[in-house]
Amino acid sequence: MKVSITADKTILQTNPTNAGPNPAGPFTNTLTVQVKKNDRLFPAPSVAIDIVSGLPSGALFYLDGDEEHEDDDGNPLAFRRLTFEDTTGTVTAHFHASGTPGTVILRASAADPDTNETIVADLTITVGPGVSTGLPALVGLVVDSSPLYIAGQGRQEVKRFQVQVLDDAGQPVPNPAGNNLRLQLLPNRPNGGERLSAISAGGGVQEGEVVNTRTINGVAEVALHSGTLPGTVAIAAIADRADNNVDNGIQNSVTDVDTIPISSGEIASLTFTGPYPGAVAQRRNTLPLGDGDDFESATGIYSRKITVIAADEFGAPPAPGKFVTFRLMDGPMTGYPDEGRGEFTIAGTDGNPQEGGNTFSTPGGGSSLAGTRVNCQLVLEGGPGQVGGWIVTGVSGPSLLSVSTPFNAVTDTGFTVPYTVGCPPYTGNVANDLNGATVQLDANGLASTIMNYPITQLGRNFKMTAEASGGQVGAVLSAWYLGIPEGSTLTVVPASDQNLQIPVGGTLTKTLSIQLFDGAEPPAPLPAEVLSVQVVITDPDKDAAVTAENAVAAAEAVLAAVEASKPDDDCKKVPPGEGEEEDARCASWRDALVAAQDALTKARSDLAAAQARDALHEPTAEFSPDPLITGANGIAAMTVTVSDLYTGANTGGTGDAKVEFFITTVGPEIRAETLVITVLPQGAATEE
């Protein structure tokens, strides 16, 4: 049995652009293998084609359209061995050149069924030569991104890197007998004792600002040793195109210059990172419990993991042993929860930190620091060097305070820095400590702590600060307490409890089952969620009495105004006697005075009647517990007590008293229908 292998092209050009295989193109040939026995084609059960040598110069392809020989996108796969089963005695395949010139030996093989001997045949394919001159045409430093630190930090002080020397075809230059690469530290560097080290062609160690070494397969390895100063080191790598040798001088240099930063290891920046800041950045109102998070249903306390990443001036992790202090503040503020997340009451955009000093001020006529006291927190959210938190150590009036550590000595920005002051007590905390927590950075520059907040404060604004290096580096997370999902709905079970009745003058105490569902399909009950309850009492007789009081005050004001408008001191409050003369203006004034007195008399009479009606009843309403929190199956047991309602028919007034309980989820962006529980007196005109 004989095996033969032939090709339509035995010389292929190099493929520098890595064009895909194409039998009609310049980089792909077609192989034909035949198996014969007694000079006739023999249907060999199995035929194989292997790349015996020259693998860098190309690969084998089937190009038969079989999905097993293609990737998920339908692109043909490359092989170093092809196999064909149940052949007719002839098989075809393809070899495709790469960008590396060289000689490739292909081997076809098949087993003789009579002797079990493997019969082979070889074929030589030449790829190239392209423009492979063997002389340096390109020098490139290959430096990874791992950080290098100044000496004495306990971190990496030596950085290995490589240098490639390639010829015109992008192929490694031949291995030289001597040194073919020179590396040199350029003058624009920290000059803190940095040095290079390499192994010369003779095997000796070279160290200094300039070293010579050799490439192996076009690659040399060198090391940079840091010194005592941070900064950027520029390194030149030089080869000689004339003869690929630098030991005899450099006649035609080929050069590459690259830089390697040497970090101080000091913290230069802090950035909040992780799921919580990410959720806030997306304006979300929910965040699933993640790694390090917890919710304690017994106490209604959320615990969330908060992380900052610290970096030095080059973005590398700082040296070990550095610490970050976390603090949190969430008050005093107004508007939470009825008007949204709430606004800090001591805040402004016209703050002026004393650059390099310890005082902070606002301009006269500007925002006020009133309410600030010792141990409050001052948070700045300005430009570079003016971000972070400081502890207040002294207050001098509504426009000046002092802090514990100096502000950064940056360019004076005047009264332009946004600020917020927070003062205890706070509803949330860091690591169960209202004074904050100090955490050591890990090897990656990360520091994490736990933020705790009660379920009753979901949606409330807070500010968390992280500071390092004595307050010289800081970060601020302005966010809100996350926890309640959107799309929730509230119901009362049974639905008939949404409208209740009470005897006139009587008392109703009833426990209602308020159930909260999420927006899923089907809805699922939501336990451990805080509900907001607002009680509104409609008391028409009380309103009428207040209106009557206002009417009396208005009448008194009119009378006083008329009295003050007396046109002449001789004008009398009674008409003149017969034969007496008076100024005509006095008569007009006296008429106005009588009208004002009559109006006041009537207003006082109406007030007495309204107060008498109002005294008949004093509607009251209350609920418990407060806060109201859903429990198992999303149900909150809410006990309401309503007393002394009346009807207008009962008091002779203008309307019926009623009580409404408005119940909703807490948070400005919670899309929950407000549930209204209404209590009316029996016989009310508004009763359906």
Is residue 141 helix, strand or coil?
Answer: strand
Q: Which of 473, 470, 205, 439 is nearest to 324 (CA)?
A: 439
d(CA 324, CA 305): 15
Q: Which residue has the tokens 């190239």?
A: 128
pLDDT single digits (tens) 248-260: 999 999 999 999 9
- What is the predicted pLDDT for the residue at 481? 84
Instruction: Please tell me the distance from the alpha carbon of residue 328 to that of residue 205, in angstroms, as a whole number.
Output: 55
Q: Which amino acid type is present at position 521?
A: E
Q: What's the whole-number mean pLDDT along residues 183-191?
A: 95
Q: What pLDDT is recorded for position 319?
A: 82
pLDDT for the residue numbered 524: 55
Residue 579: pLDDT band with limits 50, 70, 90: low
Residues 30, 60: contact at Cβ < 8 Å?
Answer: no
> In the predicted model, what is the mean pLDDT of residues 132-142?
93
CA atoms within 13 A on the CB side of 137: 12
Q: What is the pLDDT of residue 261?
A: 96
- pLDDT: which is higher, 471 or 6: 6
User: How many percent of the chain have pLDDT more than 90?
Assistant: 76
Take residue 375 and report the two structure tokens written for it. 């141990």
Two structure tokens written together for 686: 């508004």
Per domain, the residue ranges of the chain are 2-127, 138-262, 269-480, 489-539+619-681, 541-615
Gap between the Cα atoms of 661 and 91, Å rounded: 87
Residue type, 542: K
Structure tokens at 389: 């938190």
Which of 165 and 146 is assigned the larger pLDDT? Answer: 165
CATH domain 489-539+619-681 topology: Immunoglobulin-like (2.60.40)
Beta-carbon contacts of 460 under 8 Å, excluding residues fewer than 6 positions away, are 330, 333, 336, 337, 341, 342, 427, 453, 480, 481
Write out the CATH class of domain 2-127. mainly beta
Strand partners, 240: 253
Per-residue pLDDT, averaged over 597-611, amounts to 94
What pLDDT score does 668 carry? 44
Q: Taking Cα atoms as reference points, which of 290, 308, 164 lies closest to residue 239?
A: 164
Q: In this predicted structure, what is the pLDDT of residue 555?
A: 95
Ordered alpha helix ranges (H), 516-651: 540-564, 584-616, 648-651
Element (H, E) at 278: helix 275-281
Average predicted confidence (pLDDT) for the chain: 91
- Name the pLDDT band for 688 (thresholds 50, 70, 90): very low
> Taking 50 as the threshold, does the pLDDT of residue 436 lie above it?
yes
Provide the 10 A C-beta neighbour count for residue 37. Answer: 15
Specify the DSSP class assigned to residue 355.
B
323-366 confidence digits (pLDDT tens): 999 999 999 999 886 566 789 999 999 999 999 999 999 999 99
- Minimum mean pLDDT range among 264-273, 310-319, 479-488, 662-671: 662-671
CA distance 441 to 309: 8
The alpha carbons of the chain give a radius of gyration, in whole angstroms, of 44
Q: Is the fold of 138-262 the same as that of 489-539+619-681? A: yes
**Alpha-carbon distance values, 133 to 10, 240, 670 (Å):** 22, 13, 71
The pLDDT tens digits for 462-520 are: 999 999 998 899 999 999 888 755 567 899 999 999 999 999 999 999 999 999 876 54
The pLDDT score that the predictor gives to residue 272 is: 97
SS3 of the chain: helix, strand, coil, percent, to 5: 15, 40, 45
At 520 the pLDDT is 46
Using alpha carbons, select from 436, 441, 432 the residue that is nearest to residue 463. 436
Cα separation of 325 and 468, whole Å? Answer: 7
- Asked whether 647 and 656 are in contact (CB, 8 A), the reply is yes
How would CATH label the architecture of 138-262? Sandwich (2.60)
Inform me whether the pLDDT recorded for 669 exceeds 50: no
Q: How far apart are CA 589 and CA 495, in angstroms?
A: 64
Per-residue pLDDT at 159 exceeds 90: yes
Token look-up 């530290």 returns: 185
Report the relative pairing of strands 499-502 and 675-681 from DSSP bridges. parallel
Per-residue confidence (pLDDT) for residue 324, from 0 to 100: 96
Read off the pLDDT of each residue in 116-126 and give the average, rounded to a whole number. 95
